Structure 1
Amino acid sequence: MANHVAQSGPDDAIQDLQEQVPPEAFEALRDAPPAVPNTPLDEITEVGQSLIAQGLTFMESLFRPWNFYQVLIALGLFAASLILRRVFAPRLHEWLRTREGWPKWRLRMALVVHKRLGGIFFVVLMWVGVFVMREVTWPSRSYLLGIIANLALAWLVVTFATRLIGNPFLRSMVRYGAWIYVTLNIIGITDEAETLLDSIAIELGETRISVWLVLQAVFILGVFFFVARFLSTTTSARIQRNEDISPSMQVLAVKFLQVLLYGAAFFIGLRAVGFDLTGLAVLSGAIGVGLGFGLQKVVSNLVSGVIILLDKSIKPGDVITVGSTFGWINSLGARYVSITTRDGREYLIPNEDLITTQVVNWSHSNDFVRLDIYFGTAYGDNPHEVRKLAIEAAGSVDRVLDFRPPVCHIVGFGDSSVDYILRFWIRDPTGGLTNIRGNVYLALWDAFEANGISIPFPQREVKVLEGSELGHKALD
């Protein structure tokens, strides 16, 4: 910007130099190649001095009458934008509170507009001011206003564009980096800044790593990772909506897609920067050997997770029992399986345990589960009547399937009761097993109470012998 705003400064200096030296010497001086710095420090010093000189020239140009007037106009328009924001922001906020039927993405974008309302007003006022100044005066006398308007518009566009990035840290990095880049580009010192950043470097053997190269790598990798994340999210949503694919295969496809996209983004980004991947291949081989010895459990869990997804032994939504843990599967991870129990606890079971230990999958091939409960009645009760009442009581309970009717059998003659087993089927093990057993027991109690069926319990008879001390006390 200093090169354009203060064009008269360098031209006057060149004209003064041309008048002070002979024509032959001036031509030789003008056509002479620029001096090449001997060391990187000399190059950094030269570029820094050039930027400082341009900055001083720009600061001096601000005190020229027309440039000073343009600065005052910009400040006045900025103050006007703050006043407009104070007036319209509360009204916009109240109006947004009435938009209850809007989708979330539209409300989120409207809140961003509300937050940046002052900047929007400033950009509009600046471009109106530039248009008016170009119509009523010379274009050169509104040049500084045009630069400020371009900067304000570019910063506002970057602010809205970076809202598409979900990660807050990455969004901030991209936003500030884009602000710096567009500012340097509009001002016109991009080449000087690039030369300065490229001159700050370290050399590792034959590899030269400069600040400019690192910034390029961060930007390119960020763009590739953003594209990979967008493609992964979009494709994963489509895969999960496809009902023809089983849940376990959906998880496997999503994980494979994420590894493929992010891996491709990483290697393509490094290749685009110019990084030699030959050394990376050797390094990755050495790292792989180290991982094989040092991270055996982690690798075992990863491989076990892939096996679980391939053989479809368990899938999200299945009700399983691992050891003493009973619950349903929330998600299948790369290292563990998340299981939620009836009491709300979430257990993270390593994938290796699901491969090497016994797992009860209550809903592997279907959702039907048979439950057994045991009870006994007195010997004086008719067993045929007891079986009939037990079957009717179980069938009257919700969740007990009627197309797979309950059955009741005598399993033995105990010391004080006739023992029975009552079997019934349910189809929703996720609803719990203990509660359905309790409901069937209550139904049995009510049925037996209504029909005079007694449930025996242990009884003890105490006999006091004659001549004992307790007998004498009783007689007394």
Structure 2
Amino acid sequence: MQEKIDFAIAFLTDWLKANVLTWNTAVQWSCVVGAYLVTALLWRGLERRLFARVDEKFETGLGRSLLRALVDVGNVAVFILFMQICASVFRVMEYVPRVIDAASDLAVAWIVIRLVTSMMPNRALARGVAALVWAVAALNVFGLLSPITDFLAGLSFSVGDNSFNALEAVKGLALAAVFLQAAAITGQFADRRIQRIRDLSPSLRVLMIKAVKVVLFTAAVLAAMSSVGIDLTSLAIFSSALGVGIGFGLQTIISNYVAGVILLMDRSIKPGDTIEVGSVYGVVRGMFGRYASVLTRDGTEYLIPNQQLVSNEVVNWTYSDTNVRLKVPVGISYGSDVEKALAVLPSAIEGVSRVLRSPAPLACMVGFGDSSVDLELRIWIADADKGVTNVRSEVMLNIWRLFHENGIEFPFPQRDVHIKPDSAIAVKIEKDGGE
């Protein structure tokens, strides 16, 4: 055992003397350290000015992130330039610059990781990509990348009429991740651009964003499948059978998605509208593929399926005009002055800021009740999304004050009892302790 240990130590010592502890290696390490120090000194002052220029030109967005990433890797790019100059000098002198090439490969890997991960919103995926790039760079530095790729290329398998090898499968998964991430980034960029187009209605903007994202992700999946050699025409029969299965098994879900497209196209309901569906009254916060989000005045958010919005009766308070007329019913006693009450009612909007002055409020008599003369005050508001009950409450409180100030009585339920002349009524009075 001791002999084997001594042999291993001797082999390692000889290898270090021949490949590491040499003047050639020492000079290469000196070039790497010197290039790093020179780059750090040159880039220190320039980096702040470049960052300031980028922040001045771009406040937010993908362009700002990309430019900041380029500035961030600028010092590494200058370091790689110095490394390539040193490597060229060594090759002219007929030396192999292994250390310099390894440092250059690791620097290139760092640049790739920084640029790619800076544009990835998914941080877990960004960390996975960084680990993969570092692993490939390390394998390349130690000369293990080619043997591993050759080994994976030799592992073949078949799926139907298509044959693959392990290397193609790994490349396909990597390309699928890249394509899907590129589709997500492009979709976010398109989302911001479409949201800035003020000539489009909110519903049309939502529809365009959804269509762009569907096209991007479909193209990403198809491109990834094609990159690994899958014949896309062979999916036609499978897609037909899958479509039939989806039609029966996911009928409700699909109908909600179709109803969502219909709502976005006909613009009957759009984000920001104030709607009433059954007992739900609130503002449409967002419209999605399967449902619409409606926020009520009490803070409850209802997720209403799109099919229900298409098939059921929906009251859209702000469909074509934000002005909404409210009716405030009022009853006065039969002994009160009706004309005076009608003249006083329009003054009840004084102090209520949400009530519009044009159209003007209108007071009218609408009927004769059992115990009251029925009046009605009709007022207009332009912000139904803030609620209607609170406006009615303020107006009715003003009516209460005005009627008391002007001697107008509110009625009480009452019944008149008529006794016929020939009727006999027996009256019996009981007191405590006897009659």
What TM-score, normalized to structure 2?
Answer: 0.77
User: Could you tell me whether the CA contact under 8 Å between 1:248 and 1:312 is conserved in 2?
Assistant: yes
* Distance in 2 (alpha carbons) for counterparts of 1:289 and 1:136: 67
Q: In the superposition, relative to structure 1, how do residues 312 and 121 fare at CA in structure 2: closer, same or farther (>3 Å)?
A: closer
User: CA offsets per residue over residues 335-373 of structure 1, 9 Å max, x none?
Assistant: 111111111121111111112211111111111211112
Determine the structure 1 residue equivalent to 2:238. Answer: 283
- Report the AA paired with residue 281 of structure 1: A
User: Could you tell me whether the CA contact under 8 Å between 2:32 and 2:103 is conserved in 1?
Assistant: no
Residue from 303, 307, 311 that aligns with 1:356: 311
User: CA offsets per residue over residues 45-68 of structure 1, 9 Å max, x none?
Assistant: xxxxxxxxxx9x988854543477
Q: In the superposition, relative to structure 1, how do residues 452 and 138 fare at CA in structure 2: closer, same or farther (>3 Å)?
A: same
RMSD between aligned alpha carbons? 4.2
- Report the AA paired with residue 105 of structure 2: L
* Distance in 2 (alpha carbons) for counterparts of 1:443 and 1:74: 88
Indicate the SS of the match to 1:334: coil
User: CA offsets per residue over residues 243-299 of structure 1, 9 Å max, x none?
Assistant: 222222222222112112221222133223321112222222221111111111111
* Distance in 1 (alpha carbons) for counterparts of 2:79 and 2:133: 23
More displaced stretch, 341-350 vs 386-395: 386-395
- Map 1:27-38 to 2 at 5 A: none
* Distance in 1 (alpha carbons) for counterparts of 2:218 and 2:15: 46
- Report the AA paired with residue 405 of structure 1: A
Please, which runs of 5 or more residues in structure 1 have no aligned partner? Answer: 1-54
More displaced stretch, 333-342 vs 180-189: 180-189
More displaced stretch, 133-142 vs 225-234: 133-142
User: CA offsets per residue over residues 92-113 of structure 1, 9 Å max, x none?
Assistant: 9xxx9xx99994679x969x98
User: Does the alignment pair 1:343 with 2:304?
Assistant: no
Indicate the SS of the match to 1:317: coil
Determine the structure 2 residue equivalent to 1:315. Answer: 270
Determine the structure 1 residue equivalent to 2:343. Answer: 388
User: Could you tell me whether the CA contact under 8 Å between 1:127 and 1:146 is conserved in 2?
Assistant: no
CA drift at 1:301 = 0.9
Q: In the superposition, relative to structure 1, how do residues 261 and 427 fare at CA in structure 2: closer, same or farther (>3 Å)?
A: same
User: Does the alignment pair 1:191 with 2:146?
Assistant: yes
Residue from 414, 426, 430 that aligns with 1:469: 430
Q: In the superposition, relative to structure 1, how do residues 135 and 256 fare at CA in structure 2: closer, same or farther (>3 Å)?
A: closer
User: Could you tell me whether the CA contact under 8 Å between 2:25 and 2:99 is conserved in 1?
Assistant: no
* Distance in 2 (alpha carbons) for counterparts of 1:259 and 1:347: 26
CA drift at 1:134 = 8.9
* Distance in 2 (alpha carbons) for counterparts of 1:226 and 1:364: 38
- Report the AA paired with residue 198 of structure 1: A
Determine the structure 2 residue equivalent to 1:36. Answer: none
* Distance in 1 (alpha carbons) for counterparts of 2:374 and 2:200: 47
Residue from 267, 273, 285 that aligns with 2:228: 273
User: Does the alignment pair 1:418 with 2:373?
Assistant: yes
Q: In the superposition, relative to structure 1, how do residues 210 and 136 fare at CA in structure 2: closer, same or farther (>3 Å)?
A: closer
User: Could you tell me whether the CA contact under 8 Å between 1:247 and 1:315 is conserved in 2?
Assistant: yes
- Report the AA paired with residue 437 of structure 1: R
Q: In the superposition, relative to structure 1, how do residues 205 and 280 fare at CA in structure 2: closer, same or farther (>3 Å)?
A: closer
CA drift at 1:76 = 8.3
CA drift at 1:138 = 9.2
Q: In the superposition, relative to structure 1, how do residues 100 and 384 fare at CA in structure 2: closer, same or farther (>3 Å)?
A: farther
Paired residue total:
399
Please, which runs of 5 or more residues in structure 2 have no aligned partner? Answer: 1-11, 417-425
* Distance in 2 (alpha carbons) for counterparts of 1:239 and 1:120: 33
Residue from 207, 224, 227 that aligns with 2:182: 227
* Distance in 2 (alpha carbons) for counterparts of 1:466 and 1:473: 18
* Distance in 1 (alpha carbons) for counterparts of 2:165 and 2:135: 18
Residue from 74, 92, 100 that aligns with 1:146: 100
* Distance in 1 (alpha carbons) for counterparts of 2:239 and 2:31: 55
- Map 1:396-475 to 2 at 5 A: 396-458=351-413, 467-470=428-431
Indicate the SS of the match to 2:97: helix
More displaced stretch, 420-429 vs 445-454: 445-454
Indicate the SS of the match to 1:289: helix
CA drift at 1:380 = 3.0
User: CA offsets per residue over residues 223-254 of structure 1, 9 Å max, x none?
Assistant: 33333333333333232222222222222222
Q: In the superposition, relative to structure 1, how do residues 165 and 336 fare at CA in structure 2: closer, same or farther (>3 Å)?
A: same
User: CA offsets per residue over residues 193-234 of structure 1, 9 Å max, x none?
Assistant: 321121233333443232211221123223333333333333
User: Could you tell me whether the CA contact under 8 Å between 1:123 and 1:152 is conserved in 2?
Assistant: no
Determine the structure 1 residue equivalent to 2:7. Answer: none
What TM-score, normalized to structure 1?
Answer: 0.71
User: Could you tell me whether the CA contact under 8 Å between 1:314 and 1:364 is conserved in 2?
Assistant: yes
* Distance in 1 (alpha carbons) for counterparts of 2:32 and 2:358: 81
Indicate the SS of the match to 1:397: coil
- Report the AA paired with residue 147 of structure 1: D
- Map 1:150-229 to 2 at 5 A: 150-161=104-115, 162-185=117-140, 189-229=144-184
Q: In the superposition, relative to structure 1, how do residues 410 and 259 fare at CA in structure 2: closer, same or farther (>3 Å)?
A: same
